[in-house]
Structure formats: structure tokens, C-alpha cells
Homo-oligomer: A and B are copies of this chain.
Amino acid sequence: MKKIAVCGVTGAVGKEVLRCLGHLPFGELSLTCYASERSAGKEVQTPFGTQTIERFSMEECRGFDVVFLCVSGSFSSKYGKQLSIQNEVVIDNSSYFRLDDDVPLIIPEINLSRCKGHRLISNPNCTTAILAVALYPIYRQFSLKRVIVSTYQATSGSGQAAMDELASQTANYLKSGKAGHRQFAHPIPFNLLPAIDRFEANGYTREEMKVVHETRKIFDDDSILLSTTAVRVPTFRAHAESVTIQTQHPVTPDAVREILQNAPGVVVKDDPQEQVYPMPLTSTGQYDVEVGRIRANPIFGECGLDFFVCGDQLLKGAALNATQIALQLFDANHFKQ
């Protein structure tokens, strides 16, 4: 019997972790649901039946095989390390430990083996995870010199309240021509915000720099040059990314298509004549990241390639990747090593 705890079950990511635990072949497990005092005592629907939410406390949260942290970075910074001592494995969804040299940053399709000897594991940024799962098979074959990414990020990246704001303020706008905002710096309906997370001194946002630093860490290659522009768009929960790469070795769209067709975690959606390409509409709720619009980019000679990816921000971008890490650690007998 696998003992699993989820901290933050009322948030957008926590809810999806519960669902993924039900969908993935974990076998028998005992589940404990934690949230803040505000939600403690309430009931939550899980794939394992209705459960009462418990108030999180360090004293109680011990002895689990896996603890999922689907909470804030400040929570993770306060409790993450200690929880990883009194439990077998902690998988943290926040950004707090991602660039910590002592904490592996894991996408199971890419670098699961780096978990070895670690009890605290970090789950990547959503934009990074969706990009990396498509990019890594290309990187392995052709190596990478430059990666240029422009994102089309869903409101789910800012949490449930942000998704609710998109729906309610869009309705307001259609009624009155006006939309308010609380979760975003400006109204999001029928608008775009080229600013996600706070700005750094170099003019990039933290979100944009996460893609740079995390991709390099996951690929274990600091020589890759990346630049990202992160844009919030009025969609609900699938992130899209327009990607231009310069490989080290000559690359062709056909070769990339074949590699990606055989790669785990991605599905090739690339039949433009039939209007088949990645879209939020089709990738929402899907485990695999859609890749399409694969074409030779002549501005980098024989080493240029453009493509478009779309993946569910709450799934491969968060909850699915985290639960896949846990499942594969169980399969690999990571526990009680």
C-alpha cells in the first residue's frame, strides 16, 4: 500500500494531482489530503472516494512514501527540506528548489535517473516542461545551439482564480464592453499581457528566465543559448509555444517528425493541409504535448527548424509530470533504498 499525501488539494494543481493519481497505474494507495486551515474539515472528491481535508501540520505529515507540494514557494521554502527528512520523497511544484544544485529538476522522459539518492525533487516550470519534452528528442539527435521561444500562456498558470476571472470578466465585457481585473495587472479578456511574473534587471521576466535556466539544468547543458518571450493569452489551461531552433548538426523536418513520433510524452499533430496542428482546444486535458508546424527555417541554413507546441499547463506543465515522477520512482523501487 503506497502512502501518498497531497498538500494544497484545493488549488488548480492539487486538484489535477488527485485526478492523475487516479488515472495512472499506482495500484493500491492510501491518500491524505492537506490544505490550509481555511479548507480543513471540508470534503474533497478524489478518485479514491470523498475525503475530508486535513489541516497541514509538520507533526502529522510524516511517514509518507510521497508528499506532493502543490502550494506556494514560501511554503516549500519553510517546510520542503524537513518534509523530505520525515518522508521518503517530496515532489515540489513550486519554483523554490528548482535551481538548487542539491535538488534534481526532473522530467521523467528526460532525466529520471538524476533522482537517485535524492528525497527532495523539484517539478519544472510549466512552460519549460512543455517545451523540454518536445525539444529533448531533437536535442539528443542534433544538439542545440540556439532556442528562441515565444509563449502563448493560459490563465491556469496563475491559478484557479485567474481562470475564473477570464470567464467572468469575458462575460462582463460581452455585456458592457468593459472588463475588470484582480488576478492580472490588466484586463485579460480579448487582450494579451506580455508580462508574466516579475521583471528582472536584464529586462526579461522571471518566467522567461526560468525557461532558460531550467532547460539548461534539465538537459544538463549550459551551452544552449535560449531566449523566451512569455505572453499571457485569454485561454484557460493549455500553454502554446512558438519555437525556433538552431541545431548543431543539419536537421530536416522529416527526421524531426519521425523522432517525435517515437518519443514519449509527445504526439505529432502536423497535417496542415487538413488543418491539423497543435491547439489549446485539442491539447487541453491531454497527457501528451502536441507538436506541429514542423518546418525548415532557412534563416539558420541547414540547421534551422521552427515548430509549435501545445500542452496542458496543469498536466504535463504541473500535476501530470509530478505524478509521473512518483509513479516511475515506485516502478524503479526508489523507495527504502
In the bound assembly, the distance between CA atoms of A280 and B194 in angstroms comes to 10
Which of A9-17, A60-68, A88-96, A270-278 makes up part of the contact surface?
A270-278
Q: Is A171 interfacial (CB-CB < 8 Å)?
A: yes
Would you call B275 and A185 a contact (CB within 8 A)? Answer: yes
Among residues of B, the one whose C-beta sits closest to the C-beta of A166 is B190
Would you call A293 and B194 a contact (CB within 8 A)? Answer: yes
Would you call B194 and A278 a contact (CB within 8 A)? Answer: yes
Q: Is A294 interfacial (CB-CB < 8 Å)?
A: yes
Q: Nearest chain B CB to A188's CB is how many angstroms away?
A: 9
In the bound assembly, the distance between CA atoms of A278 and B226 in angstroms comes to 23
Q: Nearest chain B CB to A336's CB is how many angstroms away?
A: 45
Interface centre among A147, A192, A229, A275 (most CB of B within 10 A): A192
Would you call A194 and B240 a contact (CB within 8 A)? Answer: yes
Contacts of A202 in B (CB 8 A): 295-296
Task: From known contacts A190-B280, A225-B299, A242-B150, infer whether A174 and B185 are also in contact, taking CB-CB under 8 Å.
Answer: no
Q: Nearest chain B CB to A251's CB is how many angstroms away?
A: 13
Among residues of B, the one whose C-beta sits closest to the C-beta of A240 is B192
In the bound assembly, the distance between CA atoms of A167 and B152 in angstroms comes to 20
Q: Is A170 interfacial (CB-CB < 8 Å)?
A: yes
Chain A, residues 32-71, CB within 8 Å of chain B (1/0): the string is 0000000000000000000000000000000000000000
Contacts of A8 in B (CB 8 A): none
Chain A, residues 166-198, CB within 8 Å of chain B (1/0): the string is 110011001000000000011100111111000
Task: From known contacts A234-B234, A253-B203, A299-B148, infer whether A194 and B227 are also in contact, taking CB-CB under 8 Å.
Answer: no
Per CB-CB distance, the 5 closest pairs between chain A and chain B, nearest first, are A203-B295, A150-B150, A225-B299, A150-B242, A185-B275
* 24 A–B pairs (Cβ distance < 8 Å), ordered by A: A148-B244, A150-B242, A152-B152, A152-B231, A167-B174, A171-B174, A174-B174, A186-B275, A187-B281, A191-B235, A191-B281, A192-B233, A192-B240, A192-B279, A192-B310, A193-B279, A194-B277, A203-B253, A204-B295, A225-B298, A226-B299, A229-B306, A231-B242, A234-B235
A residues within 8 Å of B by Cβ? Answer: 146-148, 150, 152, 166-167, 170-171, 174, 185-187, 190-195, 199, 202-205, 225-227, 229, 231, 233-236, 240, 242, 244, 253, 272-273, 275, 277-281, 292-299, 304, 306, 308, 310
